[in-house]
């Protein structure tokens, strides 16, 4: 099993959540207009997370931008998600792995300790604190923007 397949579930969950948000948040109030606009503009980047040729670096940058634009109600949740993404990026860097190499990664070419750290960082994205953050973002979208992210 490659690292990519272990990271696909969290990436797909992030993608699905953010993509759904991008489809309907434009109706949000003035305090979240920039956030809603950024979500809309991010649609193609977020869609790409489900493909084998995903631009993960661009997605990481998009998560940071969304976190910067997030209204107070979900800013901490975005901080939590971005913390996990940052840890994963750091583990990639420490292992000498470029995100563009994830789909063809040969684990035997990576130091075993670095590989374990990379796997742990990948698995951590499935941790309840990240899932709770996603749930809070979904609830905020539903309650404040009248958007059901599970559609």
DSSP string computed for 53-105:
T--HHHHHHHHHHHHHH--HHHHHHHHHHHHHHHHHHHHHHHHT--GGGGGG-
**Is the residue at 126 inside a domain?**
yes
What pLDDT is recorded for position 39? Answer: 66
Q: How many independent structural domains does the chain possess?
A: 1
122 within a domain of the structure (yes/no): yes
Is 32 inside a domain boundary?
A: yes
Q: What b/e sequence results for 40-60 when a residue is b if at least 16 CB atoms lie within 10 Å of its CB, and e otherwise?
A: eebeebbebbeeeebbbebbb
The answer to whether the beta carbons of residues 63 and 86 sit under 8 Å apart is: no
When comparing pLDDT for 145 and 5, which is higher? 145
Residue 150 is assigned to a structural domain of this protein: no
**Average per-residue pLDDT in the chain?**
74
Residue 26 has pLDDT above 90, yes or no: no
What is the domain range of residue 15? 3-145
* Neighbour count for residue 123 (Cβ, 10 Å): 14
Domain assignment of residue 50, yes or no: yes
Average pLDDT of the residues in 145-149: 56
pLDDT at 91: 92
pLDDT category, 82, cuts 50, 70, 90? very high
Residue at 125 is within a domain: yes
Q: Is residue 151 part of a domain?
A: no
| pTM, to two decimals | 0.69
pLDDT at 74 over 80: yes
Per-residue pLDDT at 59 exceeds 50: yes
């Amino acid at each position: 099993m490659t690292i990519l397949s272990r990271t696909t579930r969290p990436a797909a969950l992030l993608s699905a959540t953010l993509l759904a948000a991008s489809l309907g948040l434009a109706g949000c109030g003035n305090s979240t207009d920039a956030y809603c606009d950024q979500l809309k503009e991010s649609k193609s980047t977020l869609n790409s997370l489900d493909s084998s040729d995903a631009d993960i670096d661009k997605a990481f940058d998009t998560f940071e931008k969304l976190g910067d634009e997030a209204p107070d109600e979900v800013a901490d949740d975005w901080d939590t998600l971005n913390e996990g993404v940052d840890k994963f990026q750091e583990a990639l860097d420490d292992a000498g792995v470029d995100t563009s190499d994830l789909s063809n990664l040969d684990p035997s070419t990576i130091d075993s300790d670095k590989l374990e750290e990379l796997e742990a960082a990948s698995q951590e994205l499935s941790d309840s604190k990240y899932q709770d953050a996603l749930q809070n973002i979904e609830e905020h979208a539903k309650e404040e923007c009248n958007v059901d992210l599970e559609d």
